[in-house]
Amino acid sequence: MADFIQRSVADDRIKAKYAKTDAARLEKMLVDQICEAAGGPCTYSGRDMKQAHTDMGVTAAEFDAQVEVLGASLDHFNVSQAEQDELLGLLAPMRDDIVEVESQETGTPLPAAFQPAPPLS
Ligand code: HEM
């Protein structure tokens, strides 16, 4: 997960969105969300996908870029295409809760209205 976050904050198409984010919290929440979706034993305790991405101004093309970065990270760890497709099948339905702007622009700024989740205490 650290590899995925590092790739995300290094990618010019999406990195602006992470400017206010607590990386330790994000890492824990991503692990728990995927672990819970895969059948446990973890429990995801973060915000729902709509709340987490509200006022982030994520575009359609930025969503696709984020999925591509995930694929690059999974390739790095030799995750098979079949397993990647299974994960993408879980993520695809979340798109409507995350994309706020139906445009092909990438690298759009993080709106000032965005309120990050509090860091882990
Ligand atoms: C299917 C795709 C996605 C999934 C499953 C997902 C999942 C998550 C999860 C579980 C969190 C943690 C929420 C919390 O801390 O309570 C989160 C936060 C975040 N996501 Fe996503 N995300 C997706 C797409 C995107 C995209 C496309 C972007 C930007 C281009 C993005 C940027 C962020 C950022 C910046 C945060 C941190 C928010 C904060 O600081 O509070 N995500 N995401």
> Given this model, what pLDDT does residue 94 score?
96
Is residue 62, in this structure, part of any structural domain at all? yes
pLDDT digits 0-9 by tens, 6-61:
999 999 999 999 999 999 999 999 999 989 988 889 999 999 999 999 999 999 99
CA distances from 115 to 19, 32, 80, 82, 90 (A): 11, 21, 36, 36, 26
Q: Look up residue 78 and give its two tokens.
A: 């030799």
- 120, 22 Cβ separation under 8 angstroms: yes
Averaged over 94-109, what is the pLDDT? 98
> Given this model, what pLDDT does residue 51 score?
98
Helix (H, G, I), strand (E, B), or coil: what is residue 63? helix
How many domains are there within the chain? 1
Is residue 118, in this structure, part of any structural domain at all? no
Is residue 12, in this structure, part of any structural domain at all? yes
Averaged over 77-94, what is the pLDDT? 94
Task: Quote the ligand 1 centre to 52 CA distance (angstroms).
Answer: 6
Domain assignment of residue 88, given as a range:
2-98
- The predicted model scores a pTM of 0.96
Averaged over 59-71, what is the pLDDT? 97
Domain with residue 61: its CATH number is 1.10.490.10
Is residue 74, in this structure, part of any structural domain at all? yes
Is residue 90, in this structure, part of any structural domain at all? yes
Q: Is the CB of 5 under 6 A from ligand 1?
A: no
Is residue 78, in this structure, part of any structural domain at all? yes
Is residue 54, in this structure, part of any structural domain at all? yes
Task: Quote the ligand 1 centre to 29 CA distance (angstroms).
Answer: 9
Residue 1 has pLDDT above 90, yes or no: no
pLDDT mean across residues, the chain: 96
Is residue 109, in this structure, part of any structural domain at all? no
